[in-house]
Amino acid sequence: MSCVIITDHARARYKERMGMSKSRMEKDAELAYKNGVRWDEVSGGLRRYIDSQHFESKILADIRVYCGRVYIFKNGTLITVFELPPKYRRKGTEERVRSRRVAAEELVEHITEEVDKEC
């Protein structure tokens, strides 16, 4: 059972833009929500592209990039999805951001352990 709710609009856009089945859409939405790169974690041209799209409430929306697509969630509900242009689908973009995220988490864990040892 998926914890992501998918709006009718998102279903229609997904089918129109990706042409995939309902079960695949639900799987992709769940994976994008859990594993996608957050909007605030991207930089460079990809960040500028996402910023250039007309999202009236970027602050309120949870924008994720996953598998060459942009997923826009709000409170765990998928609002819409669209594909990134080919020049922004560089292989490894998501992996680099994810590895930085893991490195930062490991650093925080290491610092926490050091502080605990000192106390």
Reported in sequence order, the residue ranges of the chain that DSSP labels E, i.e. its strands, are: 5-6, 37-38, 62-66, 69-74, 77-83
Distance from C-alpha of 85 to C-alpha of 99, rounded to nearest angstrom: 23
pTM of this structure = 0.69
Instruction: Give the per-residue pLDDT at 100.
Output: 65
Instruction: Give the per-residue pLDDT at 46.
Output: 80
Instruction: Give the per-residue pLDDT at 42.
Output: 79
* Structure confidence by residue, pLDDT tens digits, 50-65: 888 766 555 567 888 8
* Structure confidence by residue, pLDDT tens digits, 77-112: 999 888 888 887 765 555 566 666 666 677 777 777
- Confidence bin at 30 (pLDDT 50/70/90): very high
Instruction: Give the per-residue pLDDT at 19.
Output: 81
Spatial contact of 13 and 82, defined as CB atoms under 8 Å apart: yes
